[in-house]
Structures are given as C-alpha cells and as structure tokens.
Amino acid sequence: MPSSRLDEGMNAVRTTDGTSRMREVPAELPPIARESEAPRGRFRRIGRMRRVIRPLAAAGFALAATAASACPSALAGRTVAVDPATHGFGAVQKQPPLPLQPGEYVVTIDDGPNPKTTPALLDILRSRCIAATFFLVGRNAERHPELVRRIVAEGDGIGSHSFSHRDFGKLSRDGIAEEIWAGMRAVDIAAFGAFDESRRPRRLFRFPGSPGFAPALPPDLVAIANGAGAIVAGYDFSPEDWRNSPPEESFRRLLARLGDRGVILFHDGQSNTLELLPMVLDELERRGARVVRLAIGDG
Ligand SMILES: [Zn+2]
C-alpha cells in the first residue's frame, strides 16, 4: 500500500547537500573489530545445511552468486545489544542512533511474512551468514506462522509492525494503541505460541508508514509504544524498494543516501527486493562493512 508508506521512503539526511552526503561514504571502510561472534552455532549449521540440500536454482541468481561462501562470512558482524531502557532509535524518526561503529549496518525487512518472498529473502541472508530483523505485520503473522517460526529458528530478529498496517494518521490514539498491542500479540503467538504481557520492554516495534507522521514521530506516539512495552525501531536509510522500481534504481537511491553506519530498511513482498538485497550486500562487503545482528539486552 504505497500511499501509506510515504514516510517509510524517507531517509536520514545527515548533510545539507547531496554532494557532501556522497562524500560521507568512503570507498573502503576501515576494518572493524569483532566484539562477539555473529552467527550462533545453530545459525551456522543451518547455513551449511541449506547450502547442501537446496539446489541453487531454488533461490535463483541471488543465492547462486554466493552459495559457495563459508560461514561466518566477511560480511557477518557482531551482535549489537539494544538497551532495554531505550525508547527508540533511527534518524528518520528523529530518534537517537544505535551504538554502531563505522561500517556497521543493520538490515531490517518490513511488512512480512509473505510466502512469495520471505523464503527467498531468508535464503539470501543465510547464503551471506548474516541476520536481519523482520518487522512483521500481525495479520500476516497469523496467516503464515510457519514463516515466522522459520525466521526465529534461523536466528533472525523479529519485531512487530502493527496488526493491519493501517494508516496511523487516520486512527485515534486509542486505535493506534490497539493496533500496536494486537500486532505484538499476533507476532508473539505466531513465533512462540503465547503472548506474555509482562515481557516489557522486550519487543521492537516499527510504526507503519503514514504521511501524517512525517518528518518525525509525535512524542506521544513514542510514549504509547513504550507504554505497550515496545522500543520504537526506526531506520536511517531506505532504498524506497516499496516503489518496486527496477532494482538498479533502488540501489542507486540507497547508495546516494547511505551514511557510514546505520539501519537500512527493506520491504518484504516486493519482487525487486529479491534482486536489490544481494546487490546491497555485495556493495557492503566490497566496502569492508559488517551487517550486525540486533538483540535486546542480552537476548
Ligand atoms: Zn510497512
């Protein structure tokens, strides 16, 4: 629903003009010290298994290009812990940045799960030995709990993205609170079979796009999300892949905006993203960057 995603397409503007923004991106980033091993044992084993049992054609060109790589890969970064006391993060939402080092990026994927694209996205991530965070729409999670369980089993993070991705700009504050709560509940039940309300603040929540919130989230909405036990998960850079424009176009758009670290937003359910994601990961690896895994606290 592109009309409700206008603010998802916005990107962090860290400089005042496009030229200086481009200069922020070094051709080669310095090596980054690994503070902890990125892929966990189960994660690595699944990655190896998939490379053996899945024919290359199953994931198409995207997997074929990197299927021979070993885990952990050069792209696999550390796990970054989000402080449970954090109210939110992400420059586009005017929230504080995550504690990332230069060359560290977080891959986030909104709007799933979607049986047409989520499995292929997971294959791409596994072929690179990296983990992403999926921001799931509650009603999609209800329809496809098996995909939610696969995401969790393979070591990716999950957050919620409202229950029905309605335009929050047209909802009352009570309606917004209900959408947030019902979305978290549906995602937890799909993933873990139960919803423990006392587990707070232990969840990530990303607001669905709405032009009514640009350019920043109203503080009371952040408070509503925090009150529901959620950390507001914003982002820093978007290729606006929700436009489903040619992947080369989305790729150029992202690179023009990409700072030296931050959270990148992709979308599930978009065919172009299946081509775009490997292009972006190739570019990050070429620069010596790392994709880090997000965890809340010690989780
Ligand atoms: Zn969305």
Distance 265 CA to ligand 1 centre (A): 10
- For residues 247-268, b (16+ Cβ closer than 10 Å) or e, as one string? beebbebbeebbbbbbbbbbbb
Distance 5 CA to ligand 1 centre (A): 6
Q: How many CB atoms lie within 10 A of CB 143?
A: 16
Task: Per residue of the chain (299 residues), give pLDDT as tens.
Answer: 443 343 333 333 333 333 333 322 333 333 333 333 333 444 444 444 444 334 333 333 344 344 445 788 999 999 999 998 999 999 988 899 999 999 999 999 999 999 999 999 999 999 999 999 999 999 999 999 999 999 999 999 999 999 999 988 889 999 999 999 999 999 999 999 999 877 766 799 999 985 455 567 888 999 999 998 899 999 999 999 999 899 999 999 999 999 999 999 999 999 999 999 999 999 999 999 999 999 987 65
Distance 92 CA to ligand 1 centre (A): 14
Give backbone dihedrals phi and psi of 108, rounded to 5 degrees, phi first: -125, 145
The closest alpha carbon to 228, from 71, 49, 30, 87, belongs to: 87
The alpha carbon of 194 is separated from its chain's Cα centroid by a whole number of angstroms, namely: 23
Tens digit of each residue's pLDDT (9 = 90 or more) over 168-200: 888 999 999 999 999 999 999 999 999 987 776
Provide the pLDDT for residue 71: 87
Distance 183 CA to ligand 1 centre (A): 12
Give the domains, in start order, of the chain with CATH numbers. 2-12+36-296 (3.20.20.370)
CA dist 237 and 90 (Å) reads 9
Distance 29 CA to ligand 1 centre (A): 31
Provide the pLDDT for residue 192: 93
Distance 120 CA to ligand 1 centre (A): 19
Provide the pLDDT for residue 281: 98
| Cβ partners under 8 Å of residue 150, min gap 6 | 118, 119, 122
Provide the pLDDT for residue 189: 96
pTM over 0.85? The answer is no
Provide the pLDDT for residue 217: 81
Distance 161 CA to ligand 1 centre (A): 7
Provide the pLDDT for residue 133: 98
Q: First CA to last CA across the chain, in angstroms? A: 33
